[in-house]
Structure 1
Amino acid sequence: MNFTPTPGQKVLLLWGASVGEDILVDTVNTLREKVGQQGSVAVENIERLLVSCHAVSSFDVVLCGLPSPGAVTHPTEVLSEIARLLRPGGKLVLREPVTTEDINSEHKIRSSAKLASALKLSGFVDIGEPHEFPLPASQLSELKKELEIEEGTVSLMEVCARKPNFEVGSTIKLNFAKKGRSKSDENTSKIWTLSADDTLDEDVELIDSDQLLDEEDLKKPDPESLKASCDGAKKRKACKNCTCGLAEKLEQEKEPIPQSNTSACGNCYLGDAFRCASCPYLGMPAFKPGEKIVLNDRQLKADV
């Protein structure tokens, strides 16, 4: 094991169902010797961890799958629960069988890279490099049989991680109060401030603002250049408050609406007897409403 508990620490040991009783007892006795009388060692089956009644931030160290060669896997919900039980800055050491080949999703086993990713998503930091825990060929064969894996390479990896130095859900108040101005800030503001009593250095040449403009800048622009441009494909339209003269120009370009001769009384088709003195049909023969009027040659000739 790359990490050894120190005296006075509280340790939680998680074990799987396939671990023998004698191996589990030896592991617990070894841990108790490490932590001493001031420390403590708690034992919990990993399958019962989610329904256990351990308080938040109860342990300094959590050890998972150390009694080998148990095929202990750590789902995301288990890793999140371990993060809840660890104190800020607490250590996690776990052993989990991993594979270097892609296996169907129905198997719980994963690669070492996916194991590190699961630890990050559960809130752990300072995730160390996985170290292979050596096992005899017979134990590796039993491990693959327990995981129901017939093909692929399986190895037992040990990974260390740490909980951040703050509790999950903790908050901190940000102070946005303005700090007092330092002496350097006051000196800086004085550099850019001039009062009426300040005198200018006579050696400093001031730029004449009239020299910033040349003759081209002073020329009055052509009114035609200020009018709205038109590419011919789009209809020109003057602004609401047009001042360039486009609105007047468009008003002049409007085509006059042809005025048709209309009857005021509606009896023009009956003949001159029913027409008024200003009737446009005066002198024309009677016609039916809507009929096209055709004049003969005599009516088209002027009277001599």
Structure 2
Amino acid sequence: MKKLWKNLPFLWIVLGVVISCASYYGYHLLLQANDQAEQIKQPIDLKQSNRDKQKKKLQKATYCPRQIKPVTPAAYAKDQLRYAEIVNQWGVGALYIPSADIHSKILAGIDNQNLMVGVGTYYQNQQLGKGNYVLLAHNLVQSGGSLGNLPKTTLQQIFYLTDFTKVYEYVAIKNDVVDQSRGDLMAIPTDDQTSIVTLIRCEGGLNTSNRAVVQGEFLKEYPASEATKAVKLGLGLIEERWANDEKISNQQRANASEEPTIRIRTHSVETSNEPIYSLFQVACIYLFTILNEVPIVIGIGYLTGLLALSHVATRKQYEI
């Protein structure tokens, strides 16, 4: 028993190291949150009902720039854990920039939560392939977020957007860091000008006035079903037959009565909308959130506990 009391301070230190490592792992997961866009797939939908649903989302969305607030790591973490819920509620499309390895969902409006998990539409009536399709996103200081790799976009390279019905190709013509006062970058082109897309995120520390901007000129549009496999995968699009086949296969595995149906080489396509985080990963993210919200209080409490245990261990060591 005396040996146990003697080792308590050491065990307390080990506990602190474990919690710190788990918290850092949770933080690392948040920096890689772009992977969630690849996890959630959307069947190609050519029906008018799909467009009607998107219009309703766009009409209900928030478009007031004044409600946009600086992102904190804790708030970012909480919304990432609600990723699937937010995307299902506000998702109207997807973005794929191969040169920057960006995969993001396009969400209706610029509500703070939308900018933390994807890219938000700036204008209510903006349309892909027309005018200036403006998309905004939040950014962590360490370049986390859906547009974290935006400055890596290569000029004159093609990138892709979709509304789940068509694919729209744009070629990158501008990659720069500008002051937030450059409202002209969000201006609507005149009828004789080429349609563009504008991607914007913060660049720098908290409350920075700098913005990373990438603009692309519209090239062409075509049915999403005619896109290459690489583009479909990058945008998170799947053929309806793949989705139906996956449901059948999942049902068969649940019954465990026969072998899964052989599919047409779609092993790389996952249609599950379940969060990519395991329970352990969720716990690590929550740890990071808690430590980030009250770091001083937790630090003082930890040191106080260590001193108290050291004092108790010393007393027990000299007791007869």
Scaled by the length of structure 2, the TM-score of the pair is: 0.23
Taking structure 1 as the reference length, the TM-score comes to 0.24
Bigger RCO of structures 1 and 2 (CA < 8 A, at least 6 apart): 2
Q: Which has the larger radius of gyration?
A: 1
Higher share in strand = 2
